A and B are shown apart, each in its own frame.
Chain A
Amino acid sequence: MKTGTLKQILLITDGCSNQGEDPVAMAALAKEQGITVNVIGVMDQDVIDDQGLKEIEDISMAGGGVSQVVYAHKLSQTVQMVTRKAMTQTLQGVVNKELQQILGRSHTLEDLPPEKRGEVMEVVDELGETVELEVLILVDTSASMKQKLPTVKEALLDLSLSLNARSGENRFSVFVFPGKKNEVDKLLDWTPRLGSLTDVFSKLSTGGITPTGPAINEALQYFKKKRSLRSLLSRDDESFYEESV
């Protein structure tokens, strides 16, 4: 079964956006292009207000992804869990679609008797192990995130440790918003390991605004840019995802 590359945006934030496009709309746009958007809300002692909470849920819902709100010290485990869960969800979508093609429109995994699901699950597990994965990480560096940034860095290093234990390839890139001059700055270009993150992260400065929408939009452009460069070489699986996610 061909799955191509799984594409995810992982947004790490601690509150509401306050500038630019609606992040929920941008997430929906991402989904349309076969890119899943996952959101992690990081709390410190402070609890995220209802509005922020709702936005986090809405973004991930629109982006076909997973969201979770956690305390900073739980971040490492959550980041890897959310990424994995979203992966499985997408792959499950792909497998379900195959099933429908074989068994007819109304059949999904849940309609199969439990005895038969096992084999299908094997396929999903196998794909999760071998599929290529691209994760674009968007880190909110607004003022309130300042003391959480070391934890975020730890969590991202931990994520690459988890994902690099798979046999499939991984590529990560890291963006921060707000940037120094622009709304979004690229911190790290596509790379299989996040080790180099340690140096860049310590130099980060934090700013006042939270342009979450523009950040997601920029991330989408970045995926596209890469794709157009490789479009002649790579197989085009996008249409496959749009419906299956």
Chain B
Amino acid sequence: MMNHSMKNQYNVKPGTIIQGKWHKHRYIILKELGFGANGIVYLAQWNQEYVALKMSDNGMSITSEVNVLKSFAKVQGSALGPSLLDVDDWEHSKGQISFYAMEYIQGPDFMSFIEQKGPSWLPVLILQLLSDLEKLHESGWVFGDLKPENLIVTGPTPRIRCIDVGGTTIKGRAIKEFTEFFDRGYWGLGSRKAEPSYDLFAVAMIMINAVFPKRFTKTTGGITQLRNQLKQSKVLQKFEAVIVQALEGRYHSAKDMRNDLIKTVSHDSANHRRTSRQTNAGSTVNAQKMNHQTQSRVKAGASRKKQKQGGIVETFVLTVVILLFYAFYIFGQLI
């Protein structure tokens, strides 16, 4: 069996109508969306709706992915992968191809989104991803082949979604599919057993990839090379502690990593607000310092004013109370 020519075997042209052998649904192919080791994904139309159609001459991998998607559907309130719409076979002149139809998730992929909107979106998307991973891990799965190409940002409120579940593996088994750059085994930083920390390593590498879009190859490997790489980026420096912990496999749940990242971000945004105001006021160190001082003076003044106001109220209340008692006393004397 030769598979490097797989792509040529069934290049389905736009306009082709694909009818399922079992369920008889008719899909009109519109264009190719992408292809990977396990098949090709097409944009198709079904009943005036857009759907994504994944086809593969390897029926087993289709079945396997369908299993994963079905089990995701059972996880309540989740958007772990695209929702599954149909599974079927397509009989054509040369043979039979298995396919499944799923929800079409529209939007730019992770890398182009970050490129367009800037790195301030990085922690937002990563936090979203981590909460999805938390649910995924809780339901007994590990995503496996986590990489920017498998992540799409949908709108209008940006929300990250995973699209390719081909590498998704039951916890505790051996990872089915991976991409070297995002694989801790490749960097000599752990096994290929499906456990939450495997995915969290990949998340850290995605953060690194966001800053180094061209990626880089292994030289010495290990944590030293990756740490050195981190040092070269200002954006990554902020998250260094979290990234290194994830790379070293010290997070055992997505939740832990998420909490740490939130801490880093909120601390950072407090700093950031200050620095941005400073840069508006003028960027020399002196100006910054002065600005800082006036800022704190203003704050102190504000609190003093509050104290004064508090004093007036207090006096007023006391006087009223005393007057009241006095009134009672007079009243009592009169009777």
Contacts and interface: CB of A to CB of B under 8 A. Distances in A.
B partners with A: yes
Interface of A: 57, 60-61, 65-69, 76-77, 81, 84-85, 88-89, 92, 109-110, 113-115, 117-118, 120-122, 124-125, 129, 158, 161-167
Interface in B103-150: none
A161 B185 contact: yes
B173 A129 contact: yes
19 contacts: A61-B1, A68-B4, A81-B37, A84-B176, A110-B59, A110-B89, A114-B88, A117-B59, A118-B63, A118-B66, A121-B67, A122-B67, A125-B173, A161-B191, A162-B192, A165-B173, A165-B193, A165-B194, A166-B174
Interface of B: 1-4, 22, 37, 59-60, 63-64, 66-67, 70, 87-89, 96, 98, 170, 172-176, 180, 185-186, 191-194
- Chain B contact residues, majority secondary structure: mixed
Nearest to A119: B67
Contact of B87 (A110, A114, A166): A114
* Interface secondary structure of A, over-half rule: helix
A162 B3 CA distance: 21
Contact of A88 (B2, B60, B88, B194): B60
A113 B173 contact: no
A114 B3 contact: no
A115 B20 CA distance: 13
A165 B175 contact: yes
Given A60-B2, A114-B63, A115-B87, 6 more contacts: A65-B1, A68-B2, A118-B70, A121-B67, A165-B173, A165-B175
A81 B66 CA distance: 21
Contacts of B67: 118, 121-122
Contacts of B89: 110, 114
Given A163-B174, A167-B173, A114 B66 contact: yes
